[in-house]
Structure 1
């Protein structure tokens, strides 16, 4: 039996992203394990995000050369330029303003690349795919800062270590977004990203 071919990093435009939205959502579900009733709403949110300014997306995708594989998309990441009127942007701006004042919020969000999602299927974690996705996503961006939110259940999770390794730091911790759910950390850094430390092996 031939071994499955190694997944490859591929950039997607808005149309290619939408064509892969179902397998992308399967990776999201496997990585985040949300209640099933939340997935249709997440599908709609991801569709809407493709209309945001300067949208950019990448997938880690296994070529479709073998029948019976569980899915070709093994990881994905996307983001866009943050602007007033976007839900996440406005919620975080209010929180940063309360925490450090309007100048603090403006520094991080006035010219920010917002990483909306970055996930690798649990079966494919530990091979550097998350690092490759983040690096490709942020490479060459013209914004001044990069910001994102990630689960704040474990400060030493692979995701938190990955983000710290490229210069991101905590802006908000134990943060509850409106609508309920687990606590998040909001992290931010300057662009371009700091080089990865030698020997880094985050997912």
Structure 2
């Protein structure tokens, strides 16, 4: 999965530690991205739009949707930009990993039922697209905090923490073992 992410980033002309634009990758793959609000012209009801953008905006983030042989992503525009970027990267992860659509079902409470393994894979792919391992390693050894990582890569501080945690442990262990300081910048 890491190699796929590296290849996709390289196809966009990105260096290893360069920030990533998930919307550019969607465009590169011919995947149009729509907001819930933009679906009003296609018949989405005002009540549905209000529910997912105001009443219970945390209930739904984004979805990769098959339309014949095409794919589109629909996103919840009520979320912060950083979250929207990670949502799009996550949905692109499903696309890049060629996850089938046959496992997407709705339960009795009309809640989406997920394939846990595919969700983990898509989350991993989103992380590698947005903050690749090489970038996380460098930032860990340079002592970047979550706020700085988040600002540099256009993600939330929570997402930055998720990507940086393991690399910070590695950097700390290496610093202890070899007696060099972690740079704080």
TM over 0.5: no
CA radius of gyration, larger in: 2
Looking at secondary structure, tell me which structure has more strand per residue: 1
Normalising by structure 2, we get a TM-score of 0.27
Structure possessing the higher relative contact order (Cα contacts under 8 Å, 6 or more residues apart): 2
Normalising by structure 1, we get a TM-score of 0.25
